[in-house]
Structure 1
Amino acid sequence: MNLELAKHIENEINNKLHRKLVFKWQTIGGGSINSTYKISAESFNYFVKINNISVFENGFKEEALGLKFLKTHGAITPKIISEGIFKGNIYLVLSWIDSIFETNKFWQNFAIQLANLHQNKSEKFGLNYSNFMGQLVQKNTFFNDFPAFFIENRLKPQVKLAFSKDLLQIKELKQFESLYTQLDSFIPKEKPCAVHGDLWSGNFIAAPNNKAVFIDPAVYYGHREIDLAMSLLFGGFSEEFYKIYKEIYPLEKDFNFRKDIYNLYPLLIHLNLFGKSYLRSVKTIVSQF
């Protein structure tokens, strides 16, 4: 841990609290990209995320904007305490959220919360700034229809990157081109809505009040099935979650058929970040269509 950076972060917190606390730093698990800590002093607890500016040139600005986007649309998020850049290091300080085991009541509440988030509509698919999925840039150029948005902003950039890394070959490129021509017939027509964008089990916290706290967003106005498909990619949530969501906000038929198309995007992200262990999943899905 960079002691000068730690002192800078503590000073920022103390200035906001009008105190002179000395914090204890504890390393915690927080993914494969950033260094993460819990820092504590007296009754004050915070979550701190740190990285090098070479990873995210704007610091954690886009993540902070994403949390504000979610909060503006009614979602529960940690409070942003501080975000900035210090001597080549970037940091984000959030309020600490205690977690509990996910109860049936939690999953019911989470389904309601997500359905409510998806009720926030927009006129176009996209967002007025780019952000990140993992550590890869996520373009959010506006489009009037979701298939075009998904092809141009999601699939094509990742396919191009994977091809440049020799992870995909000409055969797969041709299969993707064929898939692009079919997407409009597969995906239901819905108005753009606010989405989390990276909704898997590591990106929410089950809080003591049995409500979900949304973290690590990759937000934009998209198709709501994106969030539901992503939630199923790495094992899925409780059956109660999907049952309640569908009761509140029913899905069009054949979602289970479509979910693999949506999940091509996060799988391509993982392919480009972590290598060939994700190649079979990508090839299987794209060859199906």
Structure 2
Amino acid sequence: MNDHHLKSHSDAPQGFFAAEAAGLKWLAEPGVIPVVEVIDSGEDHLRLERLEEVGSDANAAAVFDRRLARLHDSGAPGFGWSPSESAFFGPLYAPFAVANDAVSAFCDYWADQRLSPILTWLDGELTDDEKVTVTSAIEVIRSGAFDGICGDGVEAPARVHGDLWAGNLMWTPDGCTLIDPAAHGGHRLEDLALLALFGTPFLEEIFTGYEEVHPMPAGWREDLPVHSFFALLAHVRLFGRGFLAQTLGAARSITARARQLQA
């Protein structure tokens, strides 16, 4: 068996594999969490170490949560910053470019670099009422209501995986190992929200252990829809209206949460 895993796509956007390679190296740089090792990359491929996959278990989750908190605490130069010239989001066969200009405020990054552009791409796919629902959620995010957690303080840019759904968390003999990132400087809740979005084994254990390393304010989980909102909109763009009901539900939760925080 080969000692490497080859990802390839002849029509990949220019810089796509270089961005993934740079992201993996940046996540590995602090030395606090296992990350799949990059062997080499080119315009049409990325060669990685081959990992041995094992079953999920509570002990591995209990170690991963602490490692993830330390990774986030390693920080980033700014919100939206990426360790590569170009940045992308989406699956191997259909990635799309995202902005990667470093800014100082989460609200500017999330609303202007991520959410508004994807809403523009969806123009014509949404009804007027659906567009109003999504736009209202973007506007309350743009207001700065979620620059902290639960309206408490202001979060500094964290070193985030950026696409940390359960499929990009590989359970190996070395513990939970990060693969397939969209790494950037972001809000720590981005990774936690994606772990929760489609279900991750031992999620409660992960959240509990995370808080032991990086304490969180009470009620922080109510902020999670803000941070899964981009991924949900991306799913509507990539896979169609089957994800729209969940996305609109998140939008309504965001506006309701903002009213609660302002009360």
**2:107, 2:146 within 8 Å by CA — same for their partners in 1?**
no
Structure 1 residue 132: Cα displacement: 1.3
The structure carrying a bigger strand percent of its residues is 1
- Structure 2 counterpart of 1:277, which letter? G
Give the distance between the partners of 2:249 and 2:177, measured in 1 at CA: 34
The TM-score, its normalising length taken from structure 1, stands at 0.78
CA distance in 1, matches of 2:115, 2:46: 29
Q: Which residue of 2 aligns with 1:15?
A: none
* Deviation per residue, 1:52-87 (Å, 9 max, x gap): 22x3222511111111111113232222122114xx
Identity %: 28
Give, as a single letter, the amino acid of the residue that structure 1 aligns with 2:97: V
Quote the RMSD (CA, aligned, Å).
1.7
- Structure 1 consecutive aligned stretches of length 4 or more whose deviation exceeds 6 Å: none
Shift of 1:100: 1.1
> Using the alignment, how far apart are the partners of 2:51 and 2:186 within structure 1?
28
Question: Is residue 57 from structure 1 mapped to residue 8 from structure 2 by the alignment?
Answer: no
Superposed displacement of residue 123, structure 1: 4.8
Give 1:151's aligned residue.
111
The structure whose Rg is larger is 1
CA–CA separation in structure 2 for the residues paired with 1:124 and 1:94? 28
Structure 2: how far apart are the matches of 1:285 and 1:206? 29
Give matches, 1:77-226, under 5 Å. 77-85=35-43, 90-128=44-82, 129-134=85-90, 135-163=95-123, 166-183=124-141, 184-188=144-148, 189-209=154-174, 211-226=175-190
Letter in 2 for 1:121: G
CA distance in 2 between counterparts of 1:181 and 1:79 reads 39
Asked if structure 2 preserves the Cα contact closer than 8 Å seen for 1:200 and 1:234, the reply is yes
Output the CA distance in 2 between the equivalents of 1:204 and 1:263. 17
- The one-letter amino acid of 1:132's match is F
Give TM-score scaled by structure 2 length.
Answer: 0.85
Q: Which runs of 5+ in 1 are unaligned?
A: 1-39
The one-character-per-residue Cα deviations of 1:101-128 (angstroms, maximum 9, x if unpaired) are 1222100111111011011123521215
Give ranges in structure 2 of 5+ residues lacking alignment: 149-153, 256-263
Q: Which residue of 1 aligns with 2:260?
A: none
